[in-house]
Amino acid sequence: MIYRFESFELDLARGELREGGRRRPVEPQVFALLALLVENRERLVSRDEILERVWEGRVVSDAAVASRIKSAREALGDDGKAQRLIRTLHGRGLRFVAEARVTGDPAAPRPAAGEPDPPLGPADAGARPSIAVLPFRLLGDPGPFAAIAEALPHELITELARLRWLFVTARGSSFRLAPDGDPRETGRLLGVRYCLSGAVELSGARLAVSAELADTRDGGLVWADRFARDVGDVHAVREEIRSRILAALEIQIPLHEAERARLTVTGNLDAWSAYHLGLQHVYRFNRRDNAAARALFQRAVDQDPGFARAHAGLSFVHFQTAFMRHTDDVAGETALARRCSARGLELDPLDPFVNFTMGRSYWLEGDLDTSLGWLERAVAISPNYAQGIYACALTESLGGRGLEGRRHVEQAMRLSPLDPLYYAFLGTRALGHLALGEDQAARPWAERAARSPGAHALIAMIATAANELAGDQARAAAWAADVRERGPELTSADFFRSLPMKPEAARARITAALARHGM
């Protein structure tokens, strides 16, 4: 990795400072000081950090430190008066203030003129998605909150590394790059498909954090958002922003992978592309898309039998077949859902999606306690896994723990407002109100759920019951007609086989409401 600024090159691999291509000899401690300042050019480097990094924590005199700073400036044609490149903030530390960019080794083989740089290993088409999280930029003077620009992306790296399907570049590599560099160069240097960058700004009592996810293959913007909060409790603000970014990446990266996969000739789809395309179909909850998802997940398994998430995808397909009553052999599909999840667990017991599919398979047998155990495990593995949190909420609501379910579904909705299962989040909120006898409160949530993209016939049955119990027979009849159009064979018994609600009073009320509309 080489940093270029003005006519200089700082070559970390070779330990060389060059000017105009010619080597400029410097002492090792002077080179280490230059590297420390250039690598951290977006922030102030304190004297304590200089002692820790350059002198490895040894006690040295102020004169020794001043001597190395002077030598570093002289090596760059700078001095303490001009401070053109290295600026001193008295009593606080040093900062490198020149524009610098990062490039690779000039001796490494390069593509022919006009050809794009080849990506490194993890960014290859057949590998799992990969990401580098860069330090965030500081805008203005954030004062005591400056540390967030490094602390927040560091926490994101730690949490993203818990997502077993995503390759995450370590902080030691990604933090060497400039936060405002070209995403394509980041991809080439680090061999990643995605780059997350951002900025931190403090204005009065408001802390604003912006984040951008870029595709390093073409430099295109995949997702961006801005979060602004009062800084009365900075740790709570940091936690909220971190959670929302993590939840957004969990959704946006698979969506973008699927979109790119659609542009690939079908016969050349690799296992990961087939898997991500399968996700696009499986969330639609209809027979045709479920069949397409099954074929794609099976293709992924055939190409990579050790791909745990592809086995979990097949479990999702079999679960959906039984859940939506698209078969007469519900027991057989339930067994297949369990078997595919079990195979996924053998391959990767710490994948949250695999644990999620195992937990949902127990819904089909009405075993809510076992289901909740697996779903809570999925959330423990990935605390910001919105679909896992929603599934816990639904299981709690069905089991008579409506207030806990409401708290968890609200959390899932905050974490992933664009989730492909968001209609189910809304439906869970409605069902929780019905379970507690709060019919008027249930109605708007049920209506929103049933009108949402992807909502299936069972969601329309919730809207039917909610409107009937709230006293709006006309709206209930309209939703009942929608149910009959999409699933004329569906009855209240089918509804409770898929959603095994335990509180007898709530079950009886919903049964009666659906029966009044021929279900």
Burial grade of 114 (CB within 10 A; 0-12, 13-18, 19 or more): exposed
Same fold, 2-102 and 118-262: no
Alpha-carbon gap, residue 187 to 31, rounded angstroms: 27
Of 141-150, 211-220, 311-320, the one with minimum mean pLDDT is 141-150
pLDDT at 511 over 80: yes
Alpha-carbon gap, residue 119 to 374, rounded angstroms: 38
- Mean pLDDT throughout 330-340? 96
The CATH architecture of the domain made up of 269-383 is Alpha Horseshoe (1.25)
- Mean pLDDT throughout 314-326? 94
Q: How far is CA 90 from CA 64, 93, 505, in A?
A: 17, 7, 72
Domain range annotation of the chain: 2-102, 118-262, 269-383, 385-519
Alpha-carbon gap, residue 115 to 106, rounded angstroms: 16
- Mean pLDDT throughout 104-133? 51
Alpha-carbon gap, residue 452 to 463, rounded angstroms: 12
pLDDT at 284 over 80: yes
Q: What SS3 state is found at 208?
A: strand
- The class of domain 118-262 in CATH terms is alpha beta
- Mean per-residue pLDDT of the chain: 85
Tell me the pLDDT band of 407, cut-offs 50, 70 and 90. very high
SS3 string, 385-437, reads CHHHHHHHHHHHHHCCCHHHHHHHHHHHHHHCCCCCCHHHHHHHHHHHHHHCC
Q: Token pair 């931190």 is at which residue?
A: 200
DSSP-assigned letter for residue 43: S
Domain 2-102 falls in which CATH fold?
Answer: Arc Repressor Mutant, subunit A (1.10.10)
Phi, psi of 160 (to 5 degrees): -65, -30
Tell me the pLDDT band of 517, cut-offs 50, 70 and 90. very high
Check if CATH label 3.40.50.300 holds for domain 385-519: no
**What is the helix (H) or strand (E) element at residue 90, kind and residue range?**
none
DSSP-assigned letter for residue 127: S
pLDDT digit string, tens, across residues 241-277: 888 888 888 888 887 887 777 655 545 567 877 888 8
pLDDT digit string, tens, across residues 366-378: 999 999 999 999 9
User: pLDDT value at position 269?
Assistant: 63
Residue 367 · residue 325 · CB < 8 Å: no
Terminal Cα-to-Cα distance of the chain (whole angstroms)? 67
- Mean pLDDT throughout 479-507? 92
Tell me the pLDDT band of 127, cut-offs 50, 70 and 90. low
pLDDT digit string, tens, across residues 444-487: 999 999 998 888 999 999 999 999 999 999 999 999 999 998 88
pTM comes to 0.66
- Percent of the chain beyond pLDDT 70? 92
Residue 413 · residue 394 · CB < 8 Å: no
Alpha-carbon gap, residue 197 to 305, rounded angstroms: 35
Of 10-19, 401-410, 490-499, the one with minimum mean pLDDT is 10-19
Nearest alpha carbon to residue 210 among 308, 139, 128, 295: 139
| Percentages (nearest 5) of helix, strand, coil residues in the chain | 55, 15, 30
Extract the tokens encoding 462. 């919730």
The number of angstroms, rounded, from the C-alpha of 332 to the middle of its chain's C-alpha atoms is: 34
User: pLDDT value at position 115?
Assistant: 40
User: pLDDT value at position 268?
Assistant: 54
- Mean pLDDT throughout 106-111? 40
